[in-house]
Structure 1
Amino acid sequence: MNNQALNQFAYHSKLANGYDVNCVGPIIKAARVFNALHGITGVLLFDGERFFQYVEGESATINALAERIHRDPRHQHVTALLHEPLHTGRRYPHWSMAFSSVDEDAIIDQMIASTPHEAVALLLDRHLTLDID
């Protein structure tokens, strides 16, 4: 696959009313299987209330995933930060869906306050210090 065919999508959202943190484990499990089957790689952060996710893959696949996330009832206030071609190659080529619970960390606040590209750079800088599953 050439790099021109890759797209990236980053967003933040809030866990919807009526759902609790126990739904996150099944989300991660299903995402890892789905992503591996569809050539999607990325990382998901969760602070007990909010999600920040960055994914990358073929354009059509990422576009369809972005639509699914927007329709997912477990998410509310989905805010896309970045949805564009990825010209540099994959940032997370080995992670079908890395996950980190960051409930004691203000990284999601920092990402939301940043520009979209700064947020992704912050995630890249911080991923080595996060407890990624």
Structure 2
Amino acid sequence: MSAASPMSSPLYEVLYVSTLSEGQPLSTVASIAGYARRHNQMSGITGLLVFDGQRFGQQLEGPEIEVRALLERIRKDPRHIYVEVLHDAPLAARRFQNFSLGFSTLEDETALERLEALRGAAAVRAFVNLAVEPE
């Protein structure tokens, strides 16, 4: 029996927010993004990471086993603290299919704080709006 490829498995998504650990240089963000792009591509994971200078917001999508495993690695990564999942559920179609990891910075320093107050589909809508709002 052959295993299904990651890109053909049923989709799952997770949206979380976290905080960059105290004492971590901002160069850590580039390191995280660079590694994630390579790993995500091999695992069939796509998504978007936004950073406001202190906090992360990230939507991950792909095969459920891969997405959940990645979330656990993020939870254990000492560069992140206060990892809070705002949404996790099956997904009908990829939202960020062109990105093994899209990355954007936010000028609005309170956007992720406001996002953190939301849950479920409302959190996802707000996150997607952050990703597509014109400057």
Q: How many residues end up aligned between the 2 structures?
A: 128
Instruction: Spell out, residue by residue over 1:37-79, the C-alpha distance to the aligned partner (whole angstroms, 9 max, x if none).
Output: 1110000011111111000000110110011010000001111
The answer on whether the counterparts of 1:100 and 1:130 sit within 8 Å (CA) in structure 2 is: no
Larger of the two Rg values belongs to structure: 2
How far off its partner does 1:29 sit?
0.7
For structure 1, the residue ranges without an aligned partner over 5 or more in a row are none
Q: 1:122 aligns with which of 110, 123, 126?
A: 126
Task: Tell me how far apart the structure 1 counterparts of residues 86 and 129 of structure 2 sit (CA, whole Å).
Answer: 18
For structure 2, the residue ranges without an aligned partner over 5 or more in a row are 1-7
SS in 2 for 1:118: helix
TM-score when scaled to structure 1? 0.88
Equivalent runs, 1:1-40 vs 2, <5 Å: 1=8, 5-40=10-45
The answer on whether the counterparts of 1:14 and 1:50 sit within 8 Å (CA) in structure 2 is: yes
Q: 1:92 aligns with which of 86, 93, 96?
A: 96
SS in 2 for 1:17: coil
How far off its partner does 1:16 sit?
0.7
The answer on whether the counterparts of 1:110 and 1:119 sit within 8 Å (CA) in structure 2 is: no
Task: Tell me how far apart the structure 2 counterparts of residues 128 and 14 of structure 1 sit (CA, whole Å).
Answer: 22
Q: 1:130 to 1:108 in 2, by over 3 A?
A: farther
TM-score when scaled to structure 2? 0.86
What code does the residue aligned with 1:52 have?
Answer: G
Q: 1:130 to 1:67 in 2, by over 3 A?
A: farther
Task: Tell me how far apart the structure 1 counterparts of residues 22 and 134 of structure 2 sit (CA, whole Å).
Answer: 27
Which residue of structure 2 lines up, in the alignment, with residue 50 of structure 1?
55
SS in 1 for 2:132: coil
- Percent of counterpart pairs with the same letter? 34
The answer on whether the counterparts of 1:46 and 1:103 sit within 8 Å (CA) in structure 2 is: no
